Structure formats: structure tokens, C-alpha cells
Amino acid sequence: MLIVTQEAQQPCQQHATLQCSSTLRTATSSQRTQRTMDPSPEAYEATHVHSVYNAIAPHFSSTRHKPWPLISSFLTSLPPGSVGLDVGCGNGKYLPVNPKLHILASDRSEALVRLARQEQKLVGPASPPQVVVADALSLPYRERSVDFVICVAVIHHLSTRERRREGIRALLDCVHGGGRVLVYAWALEQGSSRRGWDEGSEQDALVPWVMRSKGKPEATFQRYYHLYRKGELEEDVEAAGGKVLESGYEKDNWWVICSNNQA
């Protein structure tokens, strides 16, 4: 039986819907991470990940609607009735891909969770919500309780290799023997992308999200990313106790499908 613990009682700041546009600019050397100024990885991520996504949630969500082909293929390949997790679900765009699955979703951003609930029309406080606020390093699910997990564009926001491996380990712990985990992370090798990163670039970067709204000054938010080099995601999966089943590259991302080697 799956158990979802009570959602963390954190104050949710209301964010007005913005009529805005964003410009994704290539990170420069002056925008690289300055870890020595921050007391801990947790504080750094609170500043450069969590608070940013709460602030940009409405506009970020408006740019995230079309499911990626390989993730859709993974979800539609699963047997009907399979139970799984979407960790870092954002606005919940993958939840309706295969209606024959039972998916419990979570995100660290309270604002994105609200949007996901609105999108899925998930109401009914008498039962545990299907979309909850949860940290990827402290998931509210029983170990070895699900058939699959997807985790798209989340692990690269953890600011040390130890924490990234801990995050992957938390995903693996959720699946039973034979269960599969799909992980996506931004690639360093993006030579054909407008972002301009490629081999030899810095792997830890602050990436600006620029928002403009009528009558207000431009606002820029710096998001932390670890850009995975070829083979690094597989290394982290194996170090976390996983077995790599498949891996590849899609849309400037490295991906891995893996299982829990210790289940």
C-alpha cells in the first residue's frame, strides 16, 4: 500500500498571473555559481532553485505543455494499472499521458503544485492529494511500493554530486524489484543549442530566466543547473545502487532508465 504523508505546512506565497515574456540567455562566466558565498547546499538551492520556481511558476508553466516523445513512450509502454510517481512534476503535464496508470505526483514548488492541481482538477480534501509538495531528497512514499518513477529535469538542480546521487537513490528506493526509474537531466553537450554549452564548458552554471510584464521593470531570476557530461548520469545511477537498463540523449538532455540493484 502506498502512503503519502501529510503535505508540509509551508506558507504559500500567492503569485499574480503575469502577462510576460522570457528570454533564455546563455550563462556567462560572471553568472557562474558562487558557492563560497552560501553557507550550505540547502541554502544555495533555496535561493537559486526553490524560490525561483515559486516566483516564475505561472510563466514557466505556460511554456511547458507538450510532453517529450521518449517520456510519453515510456509511460504508454507500462502495463495498465501500474502505480508510479512523477517526482518534480511541475505543472503535471505528464499525468494525463496514459490514463490507465495511477500516478502520484510531487514537486518542491508550492506554486507549481497549485498549478498542477488546477490542471488536473484534483480536489477532494477528504483523501490524500495526488499532487503534493515534497522535497526530492525526502519523498513521502513507502520504499519499494511502486512500479515506476519518472523524474524529469530535477536531479540537475541539486548542487553537489553527493546530493545528486542521494536524489537518485531516493527514486530507486521507491520501486520494487523489477520496477523502473526514468531520469532526465540537462546535458553539457548542447553544441547545436542556442544555449551554447558543449564539452569544455563549466558544468555548474546559473541560468537566467527573464520575465517582463506591462508596467513593471524586467525581472531576472538565476537558476542553478549541473550540466551532465556524457556518461556521468550512468555513473551516478550506479553509485546510487542502480542498474542502468537503457540510456541516451534527447532534446539537450541525457536520460537513463534504471532499476534498483538492491531491491
Alpha-carbon distances, residue 38 vs 11, 47, 83 (angstroms): 23, 9, 39
Q: Torsion angle of alpha carbons 234, 206, 57, 76, nearest 10°?
A: -20
* Residue 20 pLDDT greater than 80, yes or no: no
Residue 120's pLDDT is what? Answer: 78
109 found inside a domain: yes
Q: Return the minimum-mean-pLDDT range out of 48-52, 130-134, 213-217.
A: 213-217
Compute the average pLDDT of residues 176-198.
82
Mean pLDDT of all residues belonging to the chain? 83
108 found inside a domain: yes
Please, which pLDDT band fits residue 38 given cuts at 50, 70 and 90?
Answer: low
Compute the average pLDDT of residues 74-91.
97
Q: Return the minimum-mean-pLDDT range out of 56-65, 116-125, 200-209.
A: 116-125
Residue 189's pLDDT is what? Answer: 84
Contact between 140 and 152 under an 8 Å Cβ cutoff? The reply is no
Q: Return the minimum-mean-pLDDT range out of 42-51, 64-73, 85-94, 118-127.
A: 118-127
Joined grid coordinates for residue 248: 541516451
120 found inside a domain: yes
Name the percent of the chain lying above pLDDT 90.
64
* Residue 195 pLDDT greater than 90, yes or no: no
- Element (H or E) spanning 86, and its range? strand 83-87
Residue 65's pLDDT is what? Answer: 78
3 found inside a domain: no
Domain span including residue 224 = 20-260
Q: Return the minimum-mean-pLDDT range out of 54-63, 107-116, 207-216.
A: 207-216
* Residue 204 pLDDT greater than 70, yes or no: yes
Q: What is the pLDDT of residues 224-248, one digit of tens each?
A: 999 999 999 999 999 999 999 999 9
Joined grid coordinates for residue 176: 520494487
13 found inside a domain: no
Residue 180's pLDDT is what? Answer: 98
Number of domains the chain contains? 1
9 found inside a domain: no
Residue 217's pLDDT is what? Answer: 79
Residue 23's pLDDT is what? Answer: 34
Which comes out higher in pLDDT, residue 165 or 214? 165
Alpha-carbon distances, residue 151 vs 29, 66, 94, 105, 237 (angstroms): 29, 16, 11, 10, 13
10 found inside a domain: no
Q: What angle do CA 38, 42, 44 make, to 5 degrees?
A: 35
Q: What is the pLDDT of residues 105-164, one digit of tens each?
A: 999 999 999 999 988 775 444 444 589 999 999 999 999 999 999 999 999 999 999 999
Which comes out higher in pLDDT, residue 148 or 1? 148
- Read off the CATH number of the domain in which 88 is found: 3.40.50.150
Residue 202's pLDDT is what? Answer: 82
* Residue 15 pLDDT greater than 60, yes or no: no
43 found inside a domain: yes
Q: CA 193, CA 195: separation in Å to the nearest integer?
A: 5
Residue 263's pLDDT is what? Answer: 66
